[in-house]
Amino acid sequence: MSELRKRKLARLRELRRLHPVLLGRGVPLIGTEQLAQSMALLFRDCLENRQNKRRVLSAAELAHRLYDAGEKNAPSSPPLSCKAGCDFCCNAFVSVLAPEALLLAERLKAAKTPVEGSIDAFKARAVALRGLDQRARLSGRRVSCPILDRHLCSLHADRPLSCRKHSSFAVEACAAAFEGEEGPIPSHAGYHTIGTTVSVTFRGALKSLGYGTALYELSEAVSTILDTQDALRRWTAGEDILAGVQTDTTTPAHLTSTIEGLARAIS
């Protein structure tokens, strides 16, 4: 074995030694480059576990677990305005990673309640959202997220990172945005940082294995998966079953560079 290979394996072992910390405490608000690489490697190890046929879904669940633990351990703040039944943000453009969309599709197929189990209803509502960007969604007839049921998220436990990290200290600002008014929504910066960190490291792992790193529009991505036979196996095998689905193109250039750097670090 070459010295270069030995050094690489030693570095990966060092990164894996941090995995118990991440699994125990989640994502810290202030991290390090080494910790980010360790997190990306944690995702990669999960995605490469061929003994687990649902490893892609497990990786999405891992991302949500890491975020939730990080949020729980984040510094305290004034009370958020977010609460059950407040769904202004559920009318916005919601982006998901492909593994998150695959997880939501699985949950829809397995749902036991009539509303959750109505895949046809989900698809019908998704059609009404197709092609609409953020501005279009808030300037015309309101069509909420297809998994919203009587002002509550029917798949809340599996909501994507983009929903998890969203927060507001002022419901009035959310209502104003819902009505199409321009203006900032005061939010928890820590939650946003933690969510972005999980997303970027997850995307770094995906890129290191040759998977796409796009953020897809939730309703169209999930509908496409529901309409695709054997979607999970085909995506896991590397087939781009989401080609043509609307994507979120707002990822800053510096995050794109970070994703590429993480992919190189763990490859």
Structure confidence by residue, pLDDT tens digits, 2-25: 888 888 889 999 999 999 999 998
N-to-C CA span, the chain? 17
43-102 pLDDT tens trace: 999 999 999 999 999 999 999 999 999 999 888 788 899 998 898 888 888 999 999 999
Confidence of residue 29 (pLDDT cuts 50, 70, 90): confident
- Percent of the chain whose predicted confidence (pLDDT) is above 70: 96
Give dist(CA 140, CA 129) in Å, integer.
Answer: 11
Indicate the burial class of 110 (C-beta count within 10 angstroms; 0-12, 13-18, 19 or more).
Answer: exposed
231-251 pLDDT tens trace: 999 999 999 999 999 999 888
pLDDT above 80: residue 1: no
What residue numbers bound the domain in which 131 lies? 3-266
Q: Where are the alpha helices (DSSP H) in the chain?
A: 3-16, 19-25, 33-47, 55-72, 98-110, 119-129, 134-137, 161-164, 171-178, 189-208, 218-226, 231-236, 253-266
Give dist(CA 125, CA 225) in Å, integer.
Answer: 15
pTM over cut 0.85: yes
**Number of domains the chain contains:** 1
Q: How many CB atoms lie within 10 A of CB 192?
A: 13
